[in-house]
Amino acid sequence: MNTPNLPAVHSMTGYANRAAETPWGRLSIELKSVNSRFLEISFRTPDRLRALETHARECIAMAVKRGKLECRIAIGLAAESRGALALDHAQLADLAQALETVRATVPHSAPPSALELLRWPGVVVGEAMIPEEDPAPFHQAILELLAQVLCDFNDSRGREGAKMASAIEQQVQAMCAALGSLRSALPTTLAAQQHALEERLRAALVEVAPSVPLEQTLERVRQEVLTLGLRADITEECDRLASHLDEVLRVLSAGGALGKRLDFLAQEMNREANTIGSKSLALEQTRTAMALKLAIEQMREQSQNLE
């Protein structure tokens, strides 16, 4: 079996973040993802950026096909404003008066913390301001930065995916070698079992029916040997397993969203390995079947991390 030059495939686990200075403040975007059966996207953004989530979701869905992904978008102070924080005391006094009115109406309401007061819009002078009248340029800046973060994110997933694809390829090669040993050992194993069966049947027939002619005894032996050979033949199972292994390498060479396909192939391969083990005539064949099942399970675990 020839080993293909495997292209980059993507893991479902990835991370990337970027920040940029904008006229509205310092914009930062962070993406991180873990495994999932489908594409699940969640956002953690300021309330006034909720309208942008639909466009951001579309951009992400074009670059990512599967995984549980979280996108964080934050806007902070511009570089020239950092270290120069000040409070708008008039705004803070108005807020305090409003809180007094609330407490007079709802006496048991919990007071806000100092951090919550600082987060109130307008209390901190010089804080990042999200435009409300014409947010289009600001939204465009976010989408442009998101596109850059997505490139970094997919590079991260591609590096991890390449390692997983290489590990799967090594497991496939190990399984191919195991299949080769099974095929080469099968005639010897069958011959040994046939010889042992012949000796047992000869002894049994001679003991039970010594008057039976030798030719009839040998005919009975041949029938039993033929039945044994048919029951123990694993040629079809080996052929199907080899076909599945070829398909695994073909899927890897094609790239793209291949995790679900590999997971399905692993299930089919495990079924063949189980049958090979159930037809075992020798301890070595049983051990090889167990080694195949272990390699298939390892391949399946790797494939469940791929997009």
CATH of the domain at 34: 3.30.230
Q: Is 288 exposed, middle or buried (0-12, 13-18, 19+ CB in 10 A)?
A: buried
pLDDT at 2 (0 to 100): 39
Q: What's the total number of domains in the chain?
A: 3
Same domain (yes/no): 200, 98: no
Same domain (yes/no): 187, 289: yes
Contact 52, 139 (CB under 8 A): yes
Determine the average pLDDT of the residues in 230-238: 77
Distance separating alpha carbons of residues 39 and 257, to the nearest angstrom: 12
pLDDT at 249 (0 to 100): 92
pLDDT at 1 (0 to 100): 40
Displacement of CA 204 from its chain's centroid (Å): 57
Contact 21, 45 (CB under 8 A): no
Please report which confidence band the pLDDT of residue 206 belongs to, taking 50, 70 and 90 as the band edges. low
- The more confident residue out of 222 and 246 is 246
The identity of residue 74, as a single letter, is A
Q: What phi and psi values does residue 19 have, to the nearest 5 degrees?
A: -135, 150
Residue 81 has pLDDT above 60, yes or no: no
Same domain (yes/no): 168, 278: yes
Same domain (yes/no): 78, 93: no
pLDDT at 6 (0 to 100): 44
pTM, to two decimals = 0.67
- The more confident residue out of 292 and 91 is 292
Residue 73 in any domain: the answer is yes
Residue 7 in any domain: the answer is no
The identity of residue 280, as a single letter, is S
Task: Give the percent of the chain with pLDDT over 70.
Answer: 78
Same domain (yes/no): 64, 108: no
Same domain (yes/no): 235, 255: yes
Same domain (yes/no): 74, 27: yes
Q: Which domain holds residue 25?
A: 14-82+127-158
Report helix, strand or coil for 78: coil
> Which string of DSSP letters, residue by residue, matches 240-265?
HHHHHHHHHHHHHHH-SS-HHHHHHH
Residue 200 has pLDDT above 90, yes or no: no
Same domain (yes/no): 38, 149: yes
Contact 85, 126 (CB under 8 A): yes
Please report which confidence band the pLDDT of residue 123 belongs to, taking 50, 70 and 90 as the band edges. low
Same domain (yes/no): 105, 219: no
Same domain (yes/no): 106, 33: no
Please report which confidence band the pLDDT of residue 5 belongs to, taking 50, 70 and 90 as the band edges. very low
Residue 4 in any domain: the answer is no
Q: Which residues does residue 71 pair with via DSSP β-bridges, in sequence order?
A: 31, 43
Distance separating alpha carbons of residues 185 and 277, to the nearest angstrom: 14
Q: Which residues does residue 306 pair with via DSSP β-bridges, in sequence order?
A: 11
Please report which confidence band the pLDDT of residue 121 belongs to, taking 50, 70 and 90 as the band edges. low
Distance separating alpha carbons of residues 241 and 186, to the nearest angstrom: 16
Residue 288 in any domain: the answer is yes
User: CA 226, 231, 234: angle at the middle one, nearest 5?
Assistant: 115
Residue 132 has pLDDT above 70, yes or no: no
Residue 169 in any domain: the answer is yes
Same domain (yes/no): 174, 207: yes
- Final residue in a domain of this structure, among 65, 98, 124: 124
Same domain (yes/no): 95, 206: no
Residue 141 in any domain: the answer is yes
